[in-house]
Amino acid sequence: MTKKSKRQGDFQKNKLKVGQTKPKADNATNVNFRSKTIHLPEQLKHGSSGPTTHRNLNIKDLLSQLHHFNSNVKQGALVGLRELLSAHPTLVEQYASAVLSEVAALFTDKDGSVRAAAVRLLRFIAQCISAERIAPFFPLLSAHLTCAMTHISEPIQEDALRVLDVLLEHYPGLLSQRHTVLLANFLELISQRRKAGTGVDKSGKGGYSLTISTNRSVTAQQWRLTVLLRLGNFLQAVVEERPLEEDVISRIGLGMWAGEKGSVTPVDVSWEEHVFGKGRIQVFENSGAVPTPRSTYRLRPDSKPGAGMNKELCSAETVQGFAGTLVPLLLEIWVEAAAGDRVQMDSGHLLSAESMALMFQILTILQLLRRLTPQRDQQDILDAWFRNSYLTDFKQHFMKNFPYGLLEVARHKKKADGKRIRLQVASETVAGGNVEPMAVNVSLCQVMVTLSLRGQDHVALEDADWLGPIRVFIRETLSSGGKLSSRHLAALLEVVWRMIVTQRSRVVTDDLLQAVFVQYQQRNLSVSVRTLLLRFFSQLYIQEHQNHPHIARSRILARWLASLPVQLVQLGSRNPQLSAQLLETVQPAAARGNKDLLQSLQKNACGLYDSQDGCVVVLPVESQKRLVQILHFLPAFPAELLACLSQVCNTGRVSASLATTLIRTIHLRSPLSGWSSSSQDVPVKDVDYLSFFFTTLTGFSSEMLQALQDTDEDGLLPSSTLSPLSVFATTLEQFLHHWDVVEVVCHCLDTLGSRAQCFDVIQSAISKNLCGLAVVPDCVCAAILRCVPRLLDVNFLPSDKLLHFLSDCCLSMLNLLLQLEQSARKRDAVWEACFAALSAVPRLLRLVLQSFRVRDLCEEELPLLAQILSLLLQHTQLRNHMIANANQLQLIIQDLTHFYGGETREQWLTDLLYCYSVTMSGQRANMAMRDMY
């Protein structure tokens, strides 16, 4: 074998073919492996640098990226901040200072997407941080907002208004505190200062002129409307954030001029404690109100136009300074808009939607300028300044074409591209929604009526040319029968009030009030509208009728007052809030002696005080109190009304304290209590007075007592030898309520002049109405036993018929308490009444003892008799009376002992004999002592 062949045999090389896998070497290493994913979310979130976003960026990384030169990086950082802060709310307050400072710096960024992201992040932060927490950083936000509003770039100015919207929504109070700077910024958004060389414009246009920019995405008119809309919202925030002690407090939308001066603390006096007392009640002036000090003195009044923008708007002078710059601009804006509409339409009465919205914002700003003054006298000064400065301009530009209507423009269907659609949506957003012509006309009326002066005839004649159309518009709007929203109606009522107070004419007053009354008489009005109309008439009568005779003599106001009791009867409990407002007017009108109201009240009194569905029982407690207080001013109390009032006291649907007040009111109005009145005009007749008190004393009418005679209810205890009357057991609540009523009835009857005559009347009434009854309620028995001893005169002996009825009542009530389980208060009340009658009424105890016939009793009744005798023997006040009837008592005990004469003796008999022996032994000891001495 050659060397070559040997070498080839040792190192053989396999030939590889195409498509075949290369065989593995003998010493090849297997590198295959398996792996599983391990998720550690907390480790990825919380590193040493704190929480991170899904891109593993913490808050410091995101804040540093806000300084990046690339706009996309800054926008991503803002989105990441919002993601991180929403996932970890605790970081919001922790990094509030750093986040707010960085975000505020981006208000003036050159890229629009960055500014939009910054606004979205600011809105999110504002929802998480309260005004108190963000207050330390608000000066920085306000400074950056000012820079954005005054920036040279128009898109930055537009985004600055979006920032303003966020701050107005969440922090109106903080933003309104910086109005001195921001108001000047609003002016610079739509105007610029005039050149210094031109001097002050003598035409009254101020130191600013309107500007027009062609670089905006909207027209000049739309941009001005956008700015004015934000200006109105900002002024509204400034007005609403005024301190509460300032004079101008709005009432029901009527109150740009209806203010309250000072705060009144009501005096809480419990009259029930002082009606029959002789103590004095000390009353202080103003009921504890603290007068608000006011001074019109100013050290250095502002006289230069525009000076008020650099000072807080807290006086008429500063408001005049700002208004002297703003109002000429508003007039110039409106002149341009009105001129554009006249090109499209010959009539000036019709306005386009944009012009309508623009005029509404102008009028809203004019109203808010007037409300910036904190005091009523300052408002009067400002009204006079507006009249002298701008009345001619307002008549020329606003009132010339009053009232206004909406110009409807036919829209042709065209294929619009995306840009046109975006511009249309932007313009609709700028307009702030559609403004109704009614809102514009009503706002114009509000602005113009503030320029009319009070009580000057020559001025009224001069203003007739523009006050006349306003009066016609109000009369037609309110009398047309259409439904008005509460916002529009409140504004119209404000105008009506202002015209009535300022013009001081009975013709104008009746004309306007007639229109309001027509609106008030409409059916199916909403609760808010009905409440507005009611409060308008109520406050007009309560506040102004004494100071203005033409209001007090108004026929329409008298008709409205006369309709209130009828409305109360018809309304009932369907709307307790509305009924309470009606009563708030009825009570002071009745106290002032309004004849129309009192006549209507007298006519509908039975409906108001009906015991079933009258207002006095279906309304809440506060309204019930007002109705009871109104009784003090009612001219007369006929028998039908007194019957209703008696049922109100007895049904339990009013509280016992309120029933007490009602009874005392009737008592004080009666001549029997010393009420001084003429013989021709007696509020309560003597017969009706006594009938009312007796019916209230019994607690049941004659019809109800007759109905009880045939009843078979569960609470009825049948009559027996120990219970001559069949007693009807009332509920505990009814019994206790009637017991409180009985106390005040007895007190009132006890204060009458002749007790003998009063007792004679009560005795005759009991004999006539109660003595023949077989079924008597337990509260009636207790009331009679309570009343008779208190009214009995020492020189007057009761009749035998009354004594026998009292004896039956006493026996029946004692038997009822021993057989049925009663509450402690009811048991004590009945025992007190029975023992008081037995000790105070002559011969009553003897009759009771004589009625105990042991031979006629069954075996079950004997223990009851023994318990009754034990109670009588144990009572201290009856001991002498029992000893005086010792013979009769001895016969009863002998019969009982004879009946149970066996070897065994019952426990009840043992107790009775013990009580008898104790009582008699004490009497023998006393007699022995008297014999000894």
Q: What pLDDT score does 797 carry?
A: 81
- pLDDT of 304 reads 41
Structure-model confidence comparison of residues 382 and 6, the more confident one: 382
Longest dimension (CA), the chain: 178
Q: Is the pLDDT score of 255 beyond 60?
A: no
pTM above 0.85, yes or no: no
- Exposure string (b/e) for 490-516, b if CB count within 10 Å is 16 or more? bbbbbbbbbbbbbbbebebbbbbbbbb
Per-residue pLDDT tens digits for 737-755: 999 999 999 988 888 877 7
Whether the pLDDT of residue 306 is over 50: the answer is no
Average pLDDT over residues 588-599: 91
pLDDT attached to residue 163: 92
User: Across residues 392-400, what is the average pLDDT?
Assistant: 88
Q: Binning pLDDT at 50, 70 and 90, where does residue 609 land?
A: very high
pLDDT at 321: 86
The mean per-residue pLDDT over the stretch 375-398 comes to: 86
What average pLDDT does this structure show over 201-205? 49
Report pLDDT for 202: 45
Confidence of residue 860 (pLDDT cuts 50, 70, 90): confident
Q: Label residues 739-767 b or e (16+ Cβ within 10 Å = b).
A: bebbbbbbebbeebeebeebbbbbbebbe
* pLDDT, tens digit, 9 for 90 and up, residues 469-478: 999 999 999 9
504-519 pLDDT tens trace: 888 888 899 999 999 9
- In this prediction, residue 278 carries a pLDDT of 47
- Composition of the chain by helix, strand, coil, percent to 5: 65, 0, 35
The more confident residue out of 906 and 785 is: 785
Average pLDDT over residues 569-584: 89
Query: Over 80: is that where the pLDDT of 340 sits?
Result: no
What is the pLDDT at residue 259? 37
Task: Report, as an integer, the average pLDDT of 239-265.
Answer: 46
What are 649-660's pLDDT values in tens digits? 988 889 999 999
pLDDT on residue 791: 86
Q: What CA–CA distance (Å, rounded) separates 240 from 449?
A: 22
Question: Which residues lie closer than 8 Å to 737 by C-beta, 6 or more apart?
Answer: 652, 656, 659
**DSSP-based three-state secondary structure for 406:** strand
Q: Does 512 or 923 have the greater pLDDT score?
A: 512
The neighbouring-strand residues paired with 726 are 775
Would the pLDDT of 451 be above 90?
A: no
Q: Tokens for 620?
A: 């809440």
Beta strand 191-193 with 350-351 is: unpaired
Per mean pLDDT, which range of 82-91, 524-533, 758-767, 862-871 is the poorest?
A: 862-871
- The answer to whether the beta carbons of residues 68 and 77 sit under 8 Å apart is yes
Would you give the distance in Å from CA 798 to the centre of its chain? 56
Q: What average pLDDT does this structure show over 546-553?
A: 79
For residues 373 and 158, which has the higher predicted lDDT (pLDDT)? 158
Token pair listed for 19: 């498509």
- Residue 251: is its pLDDT beyond 70? no
Q: What is the mean pLDDT of the chain?
A: 79
Residue scoring higher pLDDT (512 or 849): 512
pLDDT at 485: 87
Look at residue 703 in the predicted model and tell me its pLDDT.
83
* pLDDT exceeds cutoff 90 at 681: no
Element at 45 (helix H, strand E): helix 41-45
Confidence of residue 311 (pLDDT cuts 50, 70, 90): low
- With 60 as the cut, is the pLDDT of residue 530 above it? yes
Q: What is the mean pLDDT of residues 136-140?
A: 90
Structural Rg of the chain based on CA atoms? 46
Name which residue leads in pLDDT, 228 or 573. Answer: 228
